[in-house]
Amino acid sequence: MFPSVSRRSLLGAGLGAALSSLGRIALPATAAAARRLVEVTLEARAEELEVAGERVRLLTYNGCYPGPLIRAAEGDRLRITLVNALDEPTNLHFHGLHVSPEGYGDNVFVEVEPGERHTYELEVPEGYGGTFWYHPHTHHRLARQLWRGLAGPLVIDRPLEREVPELAAADEHVVVVKDLSVVDGLPAEHTTGDWARGKTGRSVLVNGVPGPVLDAKASLVRLRLINACNARMLLLARDDGRPLQLAAHEGHLLAAPQALAQVLVTPAQRVDLLLPLEPGEPLRLVQIPYNSGAIRTPAEVETLLTIRPPAKATPSPLPVRLATVERLDPAAAATRRTLRMAMAFLTPDGHPHLEPVRAKLGDLELWEITNVDTQDHVFHLHVWPFQVWRRNGVEAPYPAWRDTIDIRPGERVEILIPFRDFAGTAVFHCHIAEHGDAGMMSIVEVVP
């Protein structure tokens, strides 16, 4: 009934002949370290599409909602040309990529005027592959452009992962979750309250479809799930009460799968879930009501997607080990900083944090961030992945690389950031998109 939302159908959706170079993005990861050039053109343009049975004029990349899957491997050179066919400035941010924030890199200070184009050149170093996504990051326009549709998936394959046979044999699906409310054929306008709470939509769409059914081609599914909503928290679980097997945060593999009853995926976060299928038993992934302090979504348990096992499913074992994950040492931190989050970033004495953070290239920094507000905030740092060391003084149960974390009201999180490889100016901000636009955004300058 619903189209299967495999990688192939995502790629196939709306890719015109004029964009033949996009075909290259489906190539599997290279076996050796052969460097390839992966070229993609993304045209940002308004287009009327049918979503959940309604005609709606969205902002799209190449007419797709969400945008097409871009796929490359560690070490590849990724050349992405953004063509702005909108009537307002836009740009691209490659969320989570460990690449230079300067020049033609992940430079959010570049703005592309209507009718103009800009080419980004990105190269993800070995060890930094994962599940990412792209979206606009124009000053004070991020929330509206993202809400109206501009977002797409980006996967950087790690050749090393093929040494885990269970992962190599798994059937992989990349899914982008986005919510939407439509009024008079357009995405609903922001209200005053939306700027305080963050904007959520009535329909929850998985690769543009509500509640899709995916047909699995193997009895173990690797789901790369991206929360591309402005503000919706996704608290995920299986409807049969069995635990979810979490393999990766933001696509960076954990040392071993973690069995968890529920997994929270905040806006902009990604999770890789390993879903073993039983013969004849469809698996339903549900979202459970979650109260952020500002908003509770959904009202009751809702099915996000269903996965049907293949006709001949033989049980697949879960991998016991996934990867070696470095554990950062807090004793090695050169600098300690303290930040507070309310509807702005604040200094420890409660003043607005206005000065750019100046960090030294090569330093490990320890940032203590406390949410002094009554609602969740979502901390995101561009370019340099970090690890959570402690939450409210309790050490993280396992080391994991992150770029986006949830901080609950009253919570104090200590993170370790190695400012490695790239100097330059970037930003950190709240990824409840409306909060970022409303001023929860600061600059970090990494100097050699």
Give the footprint of Cu ion on this chain (CB under 5 A): 377, 430, 432, 435
Contacts of 84 (CB under 8 A, 6+ apart): 44, 90, 112, 113, 114, 115, 116, 117
SS3 of residue 361 by DSSP: coil
CB of 196 to Cu ion, least distance (A): 10
Nearer to Cu ion, 220 or 430 (CB): 430
Q: Using an 8 Å Cβ cutoff, are 124 and 96 in contact?
A: no
Nearer to Cu ion, 245 or 292 (CB): 292
Q: What distance in Å separates the CA atoms of residue 442 and residue 126, rounded to the nearest whole number?
A: 29
Strands (E), 67-149: 70-73, 77-84, 93-95, 117-123, 130-135
CB of 378 to Cu ion, least distance (A): 6
Upstream peptide bond of 66 is cis (omega within 30 degrees of 0): yes
CB of 226 to Cu ion, least distance (A): 19
Beta bridge partners of residue 215, listed in sequence order: 308
Nearer to Cu ion, 218 or 264 (CB): 264
Nearer to Cu ion, 143 or 432 (CB): 432
Q: What distance in Å separates the CA atoms of residue 107 and residue 95, rounded to the nearest whole number?
A: 11
Nearer to Cu ion, 211 or 439 (CB): 439
CB of 198 to Cu ion, least distance (A): 7
CB of 373 to Cu ion, least distance (A): 8
Bridge-based pairing of strands 270-276 and 244-249 is antiparallel
Nearer to Cu ion, 246 or 430 (CB): 430
CB of 377 to Cu ion, least distance (A): 3
Please return the burial class of 351, using the count of CB atoms within 10 Å of its CB with bins 0-12, 13-18 and 19+. Answer: exposed
SS3 of residue 195 by DSSP: helix
Nearer to Cu ion, 245 or 375 (CB): 375
CB of 432 to Cu ion, least distance (A): 4
Q: Using an 8 Å Cβ cutoff, are 233 and 271 in contact?
A: no
CB of 228 to Cu ion, least distance (A): 16
CB of 354 to Cu ion, least distance (A): 18
Q: What distance in Å separates the CA atoms of residue 22 and residue 42, rounded to the nearest whole number?
A: 9
CB of 294 to Cu ion, least distance (A): 9
Report which of 215, 224, 204, 58 is spatially closest to residue 153, judged by C-alpha positions. Answer: 224
Please return the burial class of 299, using the count of CB atoms within 10 Å of its CB with bins 0-12, 13-18 and 19+. Answer: exposed
- Strand order in 441-447's β-sheet? 357-360, 441-447, 424-430, 377-381, 404-407
CB of 430 to Cu ion, least distance (A): 3
CB of 99 to Cu ion, least distance (A): 25
317, two tokens: 């074992």
Please return the burial class of 312, using the count of CB atoms within 10 Å of its CB with bins 0-12, 13-18 and 19+. Answer: exposed
Q: Using an 8 Å Cβ cutoff, are 217 and 167 in contact?
A: no
Nearer to Cu ion, 286 or 430 (CB): 430
Q: Using an 8 Å Cβ cutoff, are 69 and 242 in contact?
A: no
Nearer to Cu ion, 104 or 195 (CB): 195
Bridge-based pairing of strands 152-157 and 70-73 is parallel
62, two tokens: 């190449």
Nearer to Cu ion, 247 or 432 (CB): 432
Nearer to Cu ion, 64 or 405 (CB): 405
Q: Using an 8 Å Cβ cutoff, are 200 and 206 in contact?
A: no
Report which of 349, 378, 350, 372 is spatially closest to residue 440, judged by C-alpha positions. Answer: 378
Nearer to Cu ion, 222 or 382 (CB): 382
Owner of token pair 């002949």: 17
